[in-house]
Structures are given as C-alpha cells and as structure tokens.
A and B are shown apart, each in its own frame.
Chain A
C-alpha cells in the first residue's frame, strides 16, 4: 500500500518532518516527488504519533513544502542485485551511470543486511598473497579479513590498494571466481578515475562492481553508498560463491556525513562531534566481511581512511581499529624518504595472521622470522635514534649492526615499489638475507633448526 501526503511541515536539510501520516513504520523508504516531477529519496528516522521524521539521502534543494508529494513505500531502502552487476558502474544510490541499461534484479535486498550469526561464521585462515612483502611477510592478509589502510592526506594509499587488488591471489586457486566491489565515498573524480583506469589496465574491470559517490555528490548519499556496495558483495559472495574483495574509500568522508546527519538531528555529540553510535554504525558495515560455514564464497574488506592530522587516536581510525582485524598504517616520514609503499611496519598489524601462516600455508619458518624481523627492526630504530643523539661512538658493535639492519630493511624489504609482485618465498628469503646482517646469537626468536636450514651461509 503506497500512501501519498502533501503535509511536509519543515525541512532542515537533511531532515524533513511530515505531519498527519498514518501507518508509517520506522526505517521505511520515502520518496518525495517535486513539483517538476523529480524524485528525492529518504528514510523514516523516527515516527511519533502522526508525525514522521525523514532523513533525506539526497539534497533537499527544490523541495516545495506545499506542492511536493511524499510517498511511504512500506519497505526499507533496497538494492536490486544480480550477477550482471559485474563490470558495471553505479552511482551512490545504486543506479547505473555507465550508460548501460538498468539491472534486471534477481532479488531485492535491504541494504542494511542482517547481522551474521557468530556461530555460522567460518574462521578466516586462507593465506592471500598480495605480493607486497610488508603485508605478506609481516601483516599477512587472509580471506574474509577486514584490514583497513590508515593513511593521511597526500599519501599513496590509492596506489597500494590498487596494487593489492591487482596482485592478490590465493595460492593454488582458480582466479575466475574473484570479484572486486569498489565503493568511492566522497572522493574526487581523479582518485576514482585512477582506480577505474587501474582496473581497466589489468582487465579486472569485467570482474568489478563500482559504486561512486564523488566529492560533489550529496554528502547524505554517502551513508548509503558503502551499504549498497556491501549488499552487492554479499550477494556475489554468499549466493554466487565468489571471493569478493571490497575496497571502501574513504571512510573518513563517510563518518563526516554521518556526523552531519547527527548534528541535524540535534543528538548529543561524542568525541570531536561524532555521534556516540559511530562505533556501532561502522561495525555494522565492517562486520559484513567474513566467511560463512557451508558457503564457498568470502568477503575480504580493505577500507581506506585518511587520518585527520595523521592522528591515529582520532575517533575514525580509533574506532575502526577496534573493529577491524588489524591495520596497515602508512608513514609520512617513509614517504618523504622515497620509500614506497610507505608502510609503517611496527604499528601495523594483522590479527588473523597467525592462523594463515606456517607449514602448509606459507612456510614453517614464517612465524619465527616475522617476530624476529619486527623485534630487530624495532631495536634498530631505537639505536638509530640513540645514534643521532649521542653519535656513533656511543653504540656497541652489535647496536651498530642493528642500526644497519633497520636501514637495509627499509631500503630493500619495505621499498619494493608498486609494480613488483613478490612471491611469499621471495619475501621470506629476503627476510633471512636481512637477518644475516645480525650476529647469529641475536636471533633468539627463531628455532635453531630453522636457522640452520634457512640462514644464508656467510662466505669465508
């Protein structure tokens, strides 16, 4: 039953109040028909007696209080999904903008999805080789993981994300079952175009679904864009059995749109003006990644966010870090030194790595060398700092070797560029080569038998 009203009482963008409504339900989809026939959409945020508060997804410009018609559609915002979505480009509200025909939906799905039963989850433990040493070797990505990239303005997160999307593969797996769902959330045309060109260059575009809400599109639309993308991803992964990589960029724009709506609703603000439910809201998106028992597909998610002022304690990266399973942090200092991709190894983390590495997955020595590399790099960096205060003379010979190790590690292990695709063996062997700079007695975190087997023998 569709009901039409001409009783808009008040509009304070993006909120609209409609009076004298009947049988309106919470979260229902709303269409506003403008006098010129244009359509705006929104959803019911609150219904109190015969008054409904509607949040518009699009700009409120042009809505006339007396002449616009409001229709309540009786269902929440839905996305028509289909296997034909691959290779298509949509706007932030799920309409095709590539000039092609509308999608013939196989099914309509509520874009908010349903929470996944924790008992029905399958633990992610399949190693994904991204070809990037700092990820494969030290912060291993596994299928079904959500691993964000914490970046800053002006840092090359787009290149890194494109490199991962291009190179990522599961060893011994057929590549045909792979799809990318890309959501541009409030980013610029150029950045979005960079991804499109990258996908075209590598031929991945046919296996990609793009949702784009650019910087000049209405901010409130951004709240739906990632959910549209995730609904498509869920369909492809859990109905069509595909392995889907979801890239969401930029979550900071999303959170700011959420703050805008929250402020309009006059809610009590939390830290930095963001609503108190930012955590829950982000979680309902991020948690849609994963694997399910008895389903062949998976959703692996790489959200990208720019940390305001490179501050990791800002609510957006902070809350993201509490939900996601680790983070890849980019460092401005490394980027300035010309090290690419500038992954800041020490604070980066992959929580699921331990289940995805080792014998039968990567190699038996992986866990040990990983810990040793981390510890050695950390010590090396400390020593370099000490050296810059006290001079080289204040360090013992071993300390100096550590400092040298830290330099070499950055120069060779981290700095691999965006075109080099290293296998996991190459990454591990490079790690051993670097560890051979240090005295053997310092390799406390590695089992002696692995040292005998893998440490390159010094000549002479």
Chain B
C-alpha cells in the first residue's frame, strides 16, 4: 500500500508502491479515485488520476489493483453510453440520483444481472483456440454477439453449457489447456485498452465504406478498414459530418467517441439515434451503436483514455467478423489532454508544448484500424475503420496534431470555413481533400457501378479544377470575355457543386444517398455538359442552353423521393436531350 506525497491537479505522486507494475490501475485516497501509473522511480510512482483530485492530500492511501487499464467486453455494451473509462453514465445517474457526476462512483461496465439468450455452437471435445466462437447471444435485433475464446488460449472444450438464459458472469464453457489445467470461460472478458487485440493478418482494404454522403462516397471514398481525418475550423460542420458518417455508414457496429467535446452534442446523438431507422436493417440506429462520452467539462485524464477505450471495444466487435467504424470527435482534444499530463510530468516539450511522442501515439491509434482476418479457425474477416476529427486552432493545419494526423491517414476531408459561410454543406473543399484509396477501390467500383463511374468522377473533378483556374480569369476580365466552352465549364462545375456535392443532412431524402443514385445523378449532370458541348460546336447560344427548363428539374433531382428517383432521372434525361436538340435546331434555322 502506498502513500500520496504530492498532488498537482490530476497528477499524484505516491511512494511505497514497489509492488505495483507500470501502467497498473490504482485506487487513490478515501474516495477510491481511479488512477493509472505513468512513471516509476524507485518506489515512487507518478499517477494520472481520472477524476477530480480536489480534497486529496499527502498521506492518503494508494492501492494498486495489479491490472493495467482495461475494459470489460461482453453482451450489454450496445446502446450504452460510457464515460472515458467505461463507466455507464445512465447507471451512474440512477445510482447517484442526480444529474451531475460525483467522484469515486463504482458501477460495473456491463450489467452483471441481466440475462442473455445463449446458444452454444461449439461442442464438448472440440479443439479450440483464441477467437473461436463458443456460442452466440442476440444482443440486439441486428447484432449477434459472438462469445469467443479469449486470445492466446488453446485447448479442448471440457464442458459447454446448454442453451438458456444466463448473465455475463456465468461460466458457459470450460476449456482444458494442453498442460491439463482448466480455464473457465464466461460471456465477458477483460482486455487492456492500450494493447491492440490480436488478429491473424491484415489485408489491404478493397471495399468502400458507403456513407451516403456524395462528396465522400464519390469523390473521396474511404475503404472499410481504412483511416480518415476531418480537420476544420469551428463552425465548418465537423460534428454534423461525423454524425452523418455515424448514422449512414454501411457497417455493422459504430463506436462514437465524444472526446472533450460539447455535452449537448452527445445528448443529440443519444436522443436522435434511437429514432433514426437504419436503411439497411429497418431497425433503430442505436441498436448498433456504442457511445463513449467524455465531454470537455469531465476530467481531462479520462479524456486521454476515452480513445483507447473506444477502439478496444471496436476491435472486440471486429474480432467477431464485423465491419466496425470508430468515430472520434475530436482527436485534438485528446492530444491536449496528453499535453496537459505531459506538462505536469515536467517532460521536455516538443512543438507547441505537445509531448515529443504525440505523432507516434497518433500513429499507434490509427494503425489499430484495418481489414483483418480474425483469430479463430473459421477464417472470419472483419474490418475496423477509424475516422477522426481534428480541430486545428484557428483552422491552421500547420499545427502538430493536424500534421501528425495527415502523415498517417489515407483520406483527408478538408472542411472549409468559406464554404460553410456560403452554406455549402458538407463544407468539404474539393480541391484540398484527397483519398489514397481510389486505386485500391477501383476494381470494386468497376465491378459494381461500371467503369464509367470512375471516369465520371475524374471528369467532375477536372471540371471543378478548371473552374477554379477560370474563376481567376473572371476576377480580372469578367465572365463575358470567356469562350462559350469555358462558360459551359463554369456552368457545369456550378451544377456539380450545387446539384451534386451540396447535400442537406437535415432533409430526410437528401441526408442519405445510395451509391447507385449518386452514380446516376453525376452521370446525368455530366451528360448535360457533354450534350451542351456538342451543341455549342454546332453554334447553339450558351444562354439558351443554360436556360432550358430541364435544368430546374436537375436542380431538384436530389430531393426526389427514393422510390421515384430512377424513373424521374430517366424522364429528366429525355427532356434534357429534347430541349437541347431544340436549341440546336433553332440556332441552325437562324444561321
């Protein structure tokens, strides 16, 4: 048992802890505050305490639990909202009977009493290894929770409990290891958050993650198992974007980490998600979501842990063979927590006061994403996609967190305050963003959407690029002095921006757009461009081409109800072709 000798905010130094291990979780003081050992020097340990240390002084007792910072994994996590160290916030509310978060509350992360319908799939005598599925539990209507042998265990099943209702602490199987000892397996297991859960091997990601957001899916797609970052100044729509990805991604499980952000945003997710219906399963979106909320007014040290808590839970679901997305809002706040602890430890600061190991910690976090072949003998495939928001001070991307992130992630959705002021949402700048998955995803796109999809994407991007250079000329000499072809380029680029890229996440029809619909809408706009170019070559006047009535229908095409869009798009095409022909004929007559 140790004794506190120094208290400075969340950093506590205690002596007499020679029996404790590095990174052990300790309980500090009479309130049994939760802390983690950061450094050891002789028998003195520096401890990062995850709760407010007000009222703690020298002489208080420190007890080590002997375990590193861990999470409990098992049925009952979905639909839950946790703080940064996996304490269920709704349970805390019930337990303390108030709306605030007092200190030292102890609530088990997973309800130990609740009964689950367990169905065994393994038999007595089966040879099993870490990752093999022993049985299943329908956790929610859309998530079949697989009870797995914990990693690194190997042996023969000596006993398997028959189907029935059990709580998570019930032993559902007994495994005899090769050395003859027995290990009891329950429905829950613990795992240290700072260690990635093992898998057999990683594969390059080849399937796109469909988010239903046109600028993302078509222009800058992220792959399942990939990494993406959303940097942007405040007010540019980072959170709306993160929410959209959390809502509409075609993954099995979503882990949403609110890390040092606004409390009301978490409330928004908590109140809105249960009411939203997943277009793929017909069930509420909450039935596949786990929330981690460590808002900005909650203790800063737990904020540092929240990211690891979130990704460890995600890895656990990945190990079941699911596609999982982790959405972290915002990694900058996590980095600030790291900086604060580093400052208190009196470490030598790197850039802007951030610790020198900032970039490597960021890399470690994102590297836990990936498309993998899971442990276990059935060769399941799972994927973990990590999407992190970055909040650069003043929108300046040269700061350490943005730079550290940009070096690692493959997809970069650069939010732009100027676009947000113009109410162009999502305010992702099409010239500054990039996706490095285009090549690896091309085979999938070619097979599922036809080879013209990638060609259209290229054309749309080059139209936007030309627009930006033409705009510089327009600034100098005015629009009228442009050639008809250049005028058309401007007009088509405007259509791509307004009629395709802009998407209103507050309008039901428009908030989610399927891949097929995106492909058709873009193809239609580009066909307009192609037909007009041909018409201009035949001498048709640009103003009349731009003014054909079909244009207005194209403008409203994205808000056509889901059931009607295919018919409507076909109709618009017919009308558009006819009207352009008429303009050409008329021009031919006057010549």
Contact = CB atoms under 8 A, between A and B. Distances in A.
Interface of A: 23-28, 45-50, 75-76, 110, 112-124, 144-145, 238, 267-271, 276-277, 279-280, 283-284, 287-288, 290, 292-295, 312-315, 318-319, 321-323, 325-327, 346-347, 349, 351-352, 354-355, 367, 371, 374-375, 378-379, 386, 389-390, 394, 396, 441, 444
Contacts of A269: 353
A284 B296 contact: yes
From B267, B396, B475, residue with most partner A Cβ within 10 Å: B267
24 contacts: A23-B58, A26-B8, A26-B9, A26-B56, A46-B9, A113-B100, A114-B100, A118-B89, A118-B263, A119-B92, A121-B267, A123-B268, A145-B264, A271-B352, A279-B260, A280-B260, A288-B297, A294-B99, A315-B394, A319-B393, A327-B235, A347-B421, A378-B423, A389-B475
Contacts of B582: none
Contacts of A23: 57-59
Given A287-B295, A325-B262, A117 B100 contact: yes
B235 A352 contact: no
A268 B352 CA distance: 9
Nearest to A293: B99
B148 interface: no
B391 interface: yes
Contact of A283 (B54, B90, B297): B297
A120 B421 contact: no
A331 to B, nearest CB: 13
From B6, B7, B92, B396, residue with most partner A Cβ within 10 Å: B7
A396 B268 CA distance: 44
B140 to A, nearest CB: 19
A290 B295 CA distance: 13
A346 B89 CA distance: 38
B146 interface: no
A120 B353 contact: no
A314 B479 CA distance: 37
Contacts of A394: 478-480
Interface stretch (B186-194, B336-344, B534-542): B336-344
Contacts of A27: 53-55
Interface string B247-287: 00000000000101011101110110000000000000000
Nearest to A49: B5
A325 B7 contact: no
Contact of B339 (A110, A238, A276, A287): A276
Given A123-B268, A279-B336, A318-B393, A116 B300 contact: no
Given A121-B267, A271-B352, A276-B353, A444 B555 contact: yes
B516 interface: no
B333 interface: yes
B53 A26 contact: yes
A119 B297 CA distance: 14
Contacts of B101: 114-117
A238 B98 CA distance: 11
A347 B478 contact: no
Nearest to B480: A394
A290 B99 CA distance: 12
B110 interface: no
Contacts, number: 208
A268 B81 CA distance: 35
Contact of A76 (B6, B8, B55, B235): B55
B93 interface: yes
B57 A24 contact: yes
B58 A47 contact: yes
A169 B234 CA distance: 28
A336 to B, nearest CB: 21
B99 A323 contact: no
Given A270-B339, A276-B340, A315-B394, 10 more contacts: A26-B7, A48-B58, A49-B58, A75-B55, A115-B297, A118-B81, A121-B267, A295-B99, A313-B394, A323-B296
Given A290-B263, A378-B421, A280 B55 contact: no
Contacts of B295: 115-116, 118, 283, 287
A26 B55 contact: yes
From A112, A122, A279, A326, residue with most partner B Cβ within 10 Å: A279
Contact of B55 (A25, A326, A374, A389): A25
Contacts of A313: 233, 393-396
A115 to B, nearest CB: 4
A63 to B, nearest CB: 23
Contacts of B90: 119
Interface string B297-313: 11110000000000000
From A117, A267, A374, A375, residue with most partner B Cβ within 10 Å: A117
Contacts of B9: 26, 46
B482 to A, nearest CB: 12
Contact of A47 (B57, B233, B263): B57
Contact of B475 (A354, A367, A375, A386): A386
Nearest to A271: B393
B291 to A, nearest CB: 9
B7 A46 contact: yes
B423 A374 contact: yes
Interface string B62-93: 00000000000000000001000000011011
B152 interface: no
B374 interface: no
A352 to B, nearest CB: 7
From A25, A312, A355, residue with most partner B Cβ within 10 Å: A25
Interface string B185-216: 00000000000000000000000000000000
